[in-house]
Amino acid sequence: MNLGIILPLIIYLTFVFGAAIYAYIKRTKGDFLTEYYMGNRSMTGFVLAMTTASTYASASSFVGGPGAAYKYGLGWVLLAMIQVPAVWLALGALGKKFALLSRETNALTINDLFLYRYKNKYLVWIASLALLLAFFAAMTVQFIGGARLLETTIGISYTQALLLFALTVGIYTFIGGFRAVVLTDTIQGTVMIFGTLILLGGTIYALGGVESAVNKLTEIDPALVSPYGPNDMLGFQFMASFWVLVCFGVVGLPHTAVRCMAFKDSKALHRGMLIGTIVLSLIMFGMHLSGALGRAIIPDLTIADQVIPTLMLQVLPPIVAGIFLAAPMSAIMSTIDAQLIQSSSIFVKDLYLSAKPDAAKNEKKISYISSLITLILTALLIIAALNPPEMIIWLNLFAFGGLEAAFLWVIVLGIYWDKANAYGALSSMIIGLGSYILLTQLGVKLLGFHQIVPALVFGLMAFLIGNKWGERRLEKIEKK
């Protein structure tokens, strides 16, 4: 083990746990449910920007995405920049509407809003199941990414790295709740920016400049400097599909939508949109370009996902490498903690308290159950991550797509279309998610597009048809 790498990481984790303890002290002074799951709706613009960008930038942004750029070249860097407007689009589309509705109804979860808007308990149950399945797959990817980083950089086995990473995230989320999540996300977002710039600068310096790096990539394979990548795989259909999956569809990600329920005021929202877009631009460009250029330094990696930790060890001094290690760790941890806390809220707020509303009066019991569920989920995720795939980006994108196929139209049409009803929402959720899973498992690409594109089309059609049928059914009920 290299102490020069480990020491900065220990210092960073100390800050993270300090934030969690502070959050724990704050939540003991207020209403448990509002504090643990919403942080008392007090996020400023900077915090909103950092927590949204940090939650979006995950293992795929720091491990899987650069791994794909390493394999497919500079064309993947161009592709990755499609994600830049994601924070602006999500906060702009949902921010004010979600904030007003959540305050008006005292909603703490996305399912609270669904129940208020659609007034259908079956929709909440199906939404809860879809959320839990997709979150579990997405969090498994993050655990694998974190373990890969620690395995490669500090020289321990994959299993040891997985346990160390999982316990760290599980414990600080368990201690502090939502406020700990957004506070640590703010620290993590700042670390990610500096870490990205340090690694990109070290990579370009090691290659003797950008021109030299591009020449070396051309020597390895001219397709690596083509906008279409090897075998022209990054064509129009792939680009359009990727834009839908990682930009437009982000509006339908529940863990992003929840951020829109917890900011302080309109000024915080507008600042969050601007700062978050800048942060995401720097991270996406810097990390993916580092991954692509890394092929010129280490051309023979067998596991593409190891490019960033391996590159870090080669182009940075140990102390600087240790500081940088906190950046991808931050990205991964900030995504997991957001999904962990929302998964816990599904069990406690959406399922348990909906069945036993009087139980909310016993805050001590609710606190115990929430914390216990967080720890149980962490243990299950450790088991699921023990046998990792070669490239995690595809599993992460699959989970992304599942959430979008299930929730995009339910969220967007629910807040912008007054006539939207529960029949349309249920139809969209079942058809959208069902068709996405079926097309993915069968490997079918209609007209060459990724499965998310037809799944969203089918989901929208199902919403419109189901909504019309629901209107007629409601009219018959009213006449009777």
Average the pLDDT over 157-179 and give the result. 73
Write b or e for each residue in 228-239: b if 16 or more Cβ atoms lie within 10 A of its Cβ, otherwise e. Answer: bbeeeebeeebb
> Which pLDDT score, from 0 to 100, does residue 288 have?
92
Q: Return phi, psi of residue 305, to 5°.
A: -65, -10
**pLDDT given at position 192:** 75
Torsions phi, psi of 43, nearest 5? -70, 135
Instruction: Name the band, by pLDDT with cuts 50, 70 and 90, for residue 3.
Output: low
Q: State yes or no: pLDDT of 26 exceeds 70.
A: no
453 shares a domain with 308: no
CATH number, domain with residue 38: 1.20.1730.10
Domain that holds residue 436: 417-479
In a domain, residue 355? The reply is yes
Q: Write down the number of H helices and E strands in the chain.
A: 21, 0
Q: Per-residue pLDDT tens for 199-210?
A: 899 999 999 998
Cβ atoms of residues 90 and 257 within 8 Å: yes
**64 and 145 fall within a common domain:** yes
Range scoring the smallest mean pLDDT among 44-58, 159-173, 437-451: 44-58
Q: How confident is the model at residue 61 (pLDDT cuts 50, 70, 90)?
A: confident
- Based on the domain organization, do 433 and 347 belong to the same domain? no
Q: CA-to-CA distance for 51 and 437, rounded, in angstroms?
A: 29
Do 162 and 294 have their domain in common? yes
Stronger pLDDT, 327 or 92, i.e. the higher one:
92
Confidence of residue 196 (pLDDT cuts 50, 70, 90): confident
Mean pLDDT (the chain) is: 79
pLDDT band, residue 464 (cuts 50/70/90): very high
Identify whether residues 354 and 318 lie together within a single domain. Answer: yes
Position 184 scores a pLDDT of: 62
Q: Is the pLDDT of residue 97 over 50?
A: yes
**Mean pLDDT across 423-447:** 91
Q: Which of 327, 358, 392 is the last residue of a domain?
A: 392
Q: What pLDDT does 174 receive? A: 64
Signed CA dihedral, 459, 464, 467, 468: sign only = negative
pLDDT at position 338: 67
91 lies in a domain?
Answer: yes
pLDDT at 37: 45
Say whether both 437 and 343 belong to one domain: no
98, 38 contact by CB (below 8 A): no
Residues 345 and 450 in one domain: no
In a 13 Å sphere around the CA of 298, the CA atoms on its Cβ side amount to: 22
- Least confident interval from 85-89, 122-126, 369-373, 426-430: 369-373
Phi, psi of 44 (to 5 degrees): -85, 175
* Residue finishing a domain among 392, 425, 441: 392
Q: 103 in a domain, yes or no?
A: yes
Same domain flag for 237 and 180: yes
Longest dimension (CA), the chain: 79
Q: What is the mean pLDDT of residues 262-286?
A: 84
**Segment 405-426, tens digit of pLDDT:** 999 999 999 888 988 999 999 9
With respect to residue 409, please indicate whether it lies within any of the assigned structural domains: no
Residue 216 — very low, low, confident or very high, per pLDDT cuts 50/70/90? very high
**Which is more confidently placed, 66 or 354?**
66
Q: How many residues does the chain have?
A: 480
| 401 inside domain | no
Categorize the per-residue pLDDT at 331 as very low, low, confident or very high, splitting at 50, 70 and 90: low
Last residue of some domain: 326, 357, 392?
A: 392
| Domain-embedded: residue 362 | yes
Whether residue 193 sits in one domain with residue 50: yes
pTM of the model: 0.76
Residue 402 maps to a domain: no
- Do 182 and 51 contact (CB within 8 A), yes or no? yes
- Inform me whether the pLDDT recorded for 305 exceeds 70: yes
Number of domains in the chain: 2
119 and 235 in a common domain: yes
Residues 6+ apart with CB under 8 A from 222: none
Residues 378 and 315 in one domain: yes
Query: Which token pair is 321?
Result: 């490498």
Q: Is the pLDDT of residue 20 over 90?
A: no
Is the model's pLDDT at 122 over the cut of 70?
yes
Are residues 468 and 326 part of one domain?
no
Give alpha helix (H) positions in 266-360: 266-297, 307-315, 318-345, 353-355
Window from 26-30, 159-163, 203-207 with minimum mean pLDDT: 26-30
Asked, for residue 276, whether it belongs to a domain, the answer is yes
| Both tokens assigned to 304 | 């593409």
Q: Which residues of 34-66 are buried (b: 16+ CB within 10 A; e: fewer)?
A: bbbbbbbbbbbbbbbbbbbbbbbbbbbbbbbbb
